[in-house]
Structure formats: C-alpha cells, structure tokens
Structure 1
C-alpha cells in the first residue's frame, strides 16, 4: 500500500503559520517520518505571487523531485495569465502538471461560469482535476453552484473542517459522481467507513494538509479504519493516481516506497506497537469524551455500544465523558441519562463528568449534599462559552469549592481569546483554587503561549489535547515547555476518531516515556477510578 498525499504544501508563506516546510527537502523529511511516498503539493507561491509566477516557482521547486508533484494555479484566461480553454490540456502536459488549484480569494477572481465556463467544459471533457479549499457552508454552496453547471467536472474538495460537514457534502456526493473528498480533516468517528459504505472507496483520497496540520492523524486513521484492505489501498494513493492519469503516468519513484509501519518502527517500539493494533501494555485513556446525539453534527457512533466498539478498535481502555444535553440543555436530566445509559451499562469502560450548568445552579448545589450521585462520576465538566457564563461567574462557586476541597478533577472547555474560558480566565481561577486538578479542554486552542504559561505557573493545570493534537508541532512543544506529565489525551468521542489523536501523539517528536504519559499514565495518576480499572484490566 503506497501513500500519495493529495494535499501538502511547502514554501515561505506571507503570514506566520503554526508550522511550515520552507523547502522540498523539509517536506520530504516529514513525509519520510510518516511513511508517505508521494505528495501533490501546493507551493506557497501559489498564494503569495501572481498565478503565472507562482506556478513557475512551484514547478521549479518540485523539479528533480519525483516524489513531489506541483499543482498549478487556475487563473483568468481573459487577462492572458492563463491559457485559453482549447490550449489548456497541452499547456499542462508541456509543464508536467496534472491538476489545478482554484484560489479565488487569493487571486481575486470570480469562480463562475462567466469567467471559467469554457475552461470548465474542457476540464470536464479531459478529466483535469480541480482542487478547491473548503472552509464552511459558503464553499459548499460554491461547489454546488459549479457542479450544477458542470456536473462532469472532476472536483476535489480539500480540507473541510473537522467539526463534521456530512450534512453539507452528502447531498452533493449523491448527485455529482465526479465530486471527491480528501480526508485530511475528516476526523469524524466512523466517517471513513460510513463514506465507503455509501459511496465506495474511489471518491475519498488520502490527504494531510501538512505541514500546518499533523500528518500522523490521517495516517493512523486510515491505517486502522474498519474497511477492507482494497479500500484502504485505493484511498491511500490509487485514487489520486487514477485522477491524475489523464495527463499520463507520474514520474517514477526509485527505491523502496516508505511505509507508515516501517516509519513508526524507526520512531519507537511504542509507536510501532500502538499503530499495529490495540495493546494491553498501553491501555489508552480518553479524558475528553461526550455522550449522546448533538444538534450541530451528525454523529454515526453516538450510541454507547458504538462508542465502546470504537474504543475497542483503537485500543482505548477507558473514556471519561459528559452528556451533550448537559451542555445544550437540562444538565440535571442529562447527567442522569449519562449514568443510566452509559455508566451503568459499561462501568469498566465509561466514566463520567458531572456537567455543571450555571443556569441550574440551585439544583446543582442541592446535588452536592450527596455527591457524586453515581460512583461512575469522577470529575466535573464546565462549558462556559456554551452557557454564556465565564469561569469566574459566582454560579460556579459551589462546584469549585467542592472540587478544591476533594481534589476532584475539573474539565473545562477553553479556547484562545475567549472572554468566557480563555487563558486569562483560567489563570485567575487557578490562583483562587490551587488544589483543583484542572484540565484545559482543547488547551486554549490557538493561544498556545497562554496555555503553556498557565500550565507552567499552576502545577494543578493540565493541557488536554482534543482538537489541539492536529496542530502539527504543538504536542512536541507542550512536552518541551510544560512537560509530558502535564498533558492528557482527549478526542471528543463520538465526534472524532481516536486514531487521529493517537496518530498525532505517536508520530510527534517526543520520546516513549512522554507518549505513555500522555496516552494513559497521567490519567491514571489524576483519576483513582481510572487507575483501578487499568490495574484490573
């Protein structure tokens, strides 16, 4: 099985990024670390320069490197910056290019029939792939608009958000058979398998969106997806090569192809073992799960049986979760549902956070008289931004006093720059409550400096990795600056496939002691019930 990444990039960006590969050599080294043989790349010059110059720089940067293939920028033929429609196929073949990128915002053109009608007709006839970055509902609307006019256009939707776009793209996939999807941010648990069940494997392509995002997540997710080996091989690279074949075969790559398992073996014994399959020696603990359906996203594994099946597949021994309805509605009712439907049914696999809704503070405070209401509850959960109540709202006080007195862990949603639960709010809170083991959910996503500062200043603060894991360098940075003993794995299951987070941890540039701390040891130290379950497993 050969991995051919449909979306990676390198080159000097105009603005600071979380992570960059400045040269082809740097990107190739990253690919080697993850066992990826080839990549269709978008050079930074495609965004920073005029389309003709950007395309020329991309081709030059990839020349002599058969493992990297440059996609060229689409531009307006009316300005003379792009060939006329009848010249396009020959123009691309002459340059050895087999795909085009549409970047309408960067190059300020309308991606419509008026501008590209004749071009799209030729692209549909020749089967020339068009790559288009998806960043929300408006981009799916644009794809729908294009495909209504040109239903035979081969269009590859790239990098749609990790929060779940199935309700947006499935109607399009049903109607337009030439629409394809990349899996670089398709983190939805069971998303790959359900996609293959409905559409077959030929319309999903392996991608990483590296170096901005962590390559390890998509690699591990595809390696361990519950699909056939033929489907896995198709997604890994065969589909992309087929889509590019209109322009002839790609340049031959000499030597043995990289493989993810071989690459993991070079990294460490733990990385190889965990990537190979569930391990009793490494019983993973997910400290940030959810439970039940959720209004804003389709969750194919929202039932407790399905969650536990995912945990079995990924080697997750225990998940600590809170009920979605406790965040969006009646927390008293939802906490009871979690106990009855989850903690009672799977006492050795599911533990619970008692979610505190400040709008029900009076009922919540009454519950503290005989707390916890079920032995499966092992911590408290806050979601200040959803509840519109900042962490210093007095309606949290009773919960915080209890947690501080009993050293009960609190998992709180945190986000960079948030007035409800940003790093500044966490800092003030922990100055008042130094004995609460406080898990910063999502690690103040985006405000990495703030999250690290809080962790360094407060020994009871922990960096929880849900969503943050995907940011390419952040796990290694957290380990280097805060210490691996202060980091916990989390996935938002049933939102995200745990293999995305696990893969990011395995392939990060840290040692096995740090990996073990993050995957399970720290959780066992913080949660006595977790320690007991791991000890008896």
Structure 2
C-alpha cells in the first residue's frame, strides 16, 4: 500500500520493458533501435524492481505497464501476470496496470477480469497506433465492458508517437488511430469507465481538451513531452477548466521524472494547481485514499 502522504508525486505513465534476453525484448530490438534515434538517447532496460527502487528514492508513486502489441507487430508481450506480480512485490511505491490487445475479443475480456480479481491490476493501457485499432470500434467493447465492470481506468495513447518515427513506413504504425476524438464516443458508451488520454495530443490538442472538458469521465496525462514544450492552450486549460482532470506522467524510460519535474517547475502553473496535477488528481482517480 502506497504511503501517499509521504509521496511528492504520482507518475501515472511508465513502461515495464521486458528485461534483456526475454521474448518481448528480443522481438522489439529493431523498434528500440529506431526509438533510440528519435529520442536521441540510449534506452536502458531496468527491471521492475530496479524501477521501483529508482522511484522509491525519489518518493514518487508509479503506475507501470507493458504494451500488448502481439496482433499488429507480432511482438510477444511481457506477461501481465509478471508485471503485476513484481509491482505487487513493491506495492509501497508501485501500482500495476495491464495491457490487452482489443483484437483478443472475449478472450481478452476474460483475461481482464482475471487480472483484476487474481492479480490486483488497477487499470489498463491501450496504444491504438501500435495495436492498430480505432478506439470506438465495436470490436473493443467486450474488453471495455469488463474494464467498466471493475471500475478501473483505461489509459489510451493519443497523438503522435515516437514508436516507429523515422523508420521505413513508420514501422507499419498509423497515427490516425490515436486521434483523441475517437474516445468521445467511447466516453458516451461507457460513461462510468474512467478514461485517461495520454500525452499532449499533437496534432489534435484542441480535440483532446474538448473531449476532456465535455465528458466527466475523461482525463489527460502529461507524459511523453517535456513540460517546456507544452502548447499554451494545454497550460491554460490545466490551470482552469481541467485543473482537476490533468495528471503527471513521465513516459519513463523515454523521459525521466527528474527531467519532467525540473521542467515543470519552470512553466506557468498556478501554485494551487501544481499539487493537483502532481498527486491529488491521481489519488482521487485511482481511489488511493481510504475513506
């Protein structure tokens, strides 16, 4: 159980890459080389316990997940059960999310229920571009129904992605799947399922803000970008209409929380809004504070 009163922040968006030598690590090597060029950095492969210790030293709670891209990319996934088991072994600092490709249909829905009931999974991560689906495709609805029943949030990548950027044909990854406007109808059909739109949603930032403002169950995380590059309209909405619906996320290991938090200090966020973004909104959304 997280000691939330002693945390300085909660990072709602981090990746558990498969450790070196495992199936998911071997399958994604070509893609990782491309991302290395895009992000201009070497990608280390810390284990989940190592990530836990990194965040523990910084007193930052951490939501962690892998991405199931078996259907479209053919990459064997890092098992949800393993991610959850290791996160639960570090439950003083970690919160496990899972990832299930919507193409798995009813089998995926069954897995979602099992992961919540047997492994304590607290949410689900989707990457429409990497998983090659439109979020409002009815194919996804059996899985959404299972998630909605659990009361757990569904976190969707939105906007451009560094995955496949600059590689031949974008490595087969289509950006159009990650337009946040597709989540508008999902929010209508599943009004009680919390939906988190990940990242500043370039080039669809205004669409993301419109959906988050209009639908009570839709939130935005600020991961994947240094705050110094946030569009002015995103900062304006975070300071006002959406101050209770915006969440800190780093996108570790692509961006470290150290860099994100340092750059966040330099942007024009109101003093009373900063703690909401860094921790309080996540506490409410994830129901971390006991009544």
- Taking structure 2 as the reference length, what is the TM-score of the superposition? 0.76
Task: List alignment gaps of at least 5 residues for structure 2.
Answer: 19-24, 37-41, 161-173
Q: Could you tell me whether the CA contact under 8 Å between 1:506 and 1:515 is conserved in 2?
A: no
Q: Which has the larger radius of gyration?
A: 1
Instruction: Tell me whether 1:322 sits opposite 2:65 in the alignment.
Output: yes
Question: Could you tell me which of 226, 241, 245 is aligned with 1:486?
Answer: 245
Question: Could you tell me which of 179, 182, 193 is aligned with 1:422?
Answer: 179
**Cα distance change, pair 440–319 in 1 and its aligned pair in 2 (3 A):** same
SS of residue paired to 2:79: helix
User: Once the two structures are superposed, what CA deviation does each residue of 1:372-418 show, in whole Å capped at 9, x if it has no partner?
Assistant: 15443101111111011110223321121123344321101111694
Partner of residue 471, structure 1: 229
Question: For residues 510 and 472 of structure 1, what CA distance do their matches in structure 2 show?
Answer: 12
Question: Could you tell me which of 5, 8, 13 is aligned with 1:288?
Answer: 13
SS of residue paired to 1:412: strand
**Cα distance change, pair 402–482 in 1 and its aligned pair in 2 (3 A):** farther
Alpha-carbon distance, 1:507 to partner: 2.2
Where do residues 74-93 of structure 1 align in structure 2 (5 Å cutoff)? none
Partner of residue 91, structure 2: 347
Alpha-carbon distance, 1:434 to partner: 1.4
Q: Could you tell me whether the CA contact under 8 Å between 1:353 and 1:379 is conserved in 2?
A: yes
Where do residues 18-97 of structure 1 align in structure 2 (5 Å cutoff)? none
SS of residue paired to 1:482: coil
Partner of residue 151, structure 2: 407
Question: For residues 413 and 508 of structure 1, what CA distance do their matches in structure 2 show?
Answer: 24
Partner of residue 517, structure 1: 276
Where do residues 364-403 of structure 1 align in structure 2 (5 Å cutoff)? 364-368=108-112, 370-403=114-147
Alpha-carbon distance, 1:306 to partner: 2.5
Question: Could you tell me which of 183, 198, 207 is aligned with 1:441?
Answer: 198
**Cα distance change, pair 383–319 in 1 and its aligned pair in 2 (3 A):** same
Alpha-carbon distance, 1:502 to partner: 1.3
Larger CA deviation: 511-520 vs 350-359: 350-359
Alpha-carbon distance, 1:465 to partner: 0.4
User: Once the two structures are superposed, what CA deviation does each residue of 1:329-376 show, in whole Å capped at 9, x if it has no partner?
Assistant: 345x62122123x22421222211121212323431222454515443
State the Cα RMSD in Å.
2.7
Partner of residue 289, structure 2: 531
Q: Could you tell me whether the CA contact under 8 Å between 1:452 and 1:482 is conserved in 2?
A: no
Question: Could you tell me which of 208, 216, 241 is aligned with 1:451?
Answer: 208
Structure with the higher fraction of residues in strand conformation: 1
Instruction: Tell me whether 1:338 sits opposite 2:83 in the alignment.
Output: yes
**Cα distance change, pair 305–407 in 1 and its aligned pair in 2 (3 A):** closer
- Taking structure 1 as the reference length, what is the TM-score of the superposition? 0.43
List 4+ stretches of structure 1 deviating above 4 A.
279-282, 324-328, 472-475
Question: For residues 500 and 445 of structure 1, what CA distance do their matches in structure 2 show?
Answer: 20
Alpha-carbon distance, 1:524 to partner: 0.5
Q: Could you tell me whether the CA contact under 8 Å between 1:314 and 1:498 is conserved in 2?
A: no
Question: For residues 248 and 66 of structure 2, what CA distance do their matches in structure 1 show?
Answer: 19
**Cα distance change, pair 314–447 in 1 and its aligned pair in 2 (3 A):** farther
Alpha-carbon distance, 1:281 to partner: 5.2
Alpha-carbon distance, 1:301 to partner: 5.1
**Cα distance change, pair 358–406 in 1 and its aligned pair in 2 (3 A):** closer
Alpha-carbon distance, 1:470 to partner: 4.1
Question: For residues 115 and 84 of structure 2, what CA distance do their matches in structure 1 show?
Answer: 13
Where do residues 33-432 of structure 1 align in structure 2 (5 Å cutoff)? 282-293=7-18, 295=28, 296=32, 297=36, 298-300=42-44, 302-316=46-60, 318-324=61-67, 329-331=75-77, 334-340=79-85, 342-368=86-112, 370-415=114-159, 418-432=175-189
Instruction: Report 1 or 2 for greater relative contact order, CA contacts < 8 Å, sequence distance ≥ 6.
Output: 2
Alpha-carbon distance, 1:486 to partner: 0.8
Alpha-carbon distance, 1:299 to partner: 2.8
Q: What is the aligned length? A: 251
Task: List alignment gaps of at least 5 residues for structure 1.
Answer: 1-278
Question: For residues 253 and 152 of structure 2, what CA distance do their matches in structure 1 show?
Answer: 24
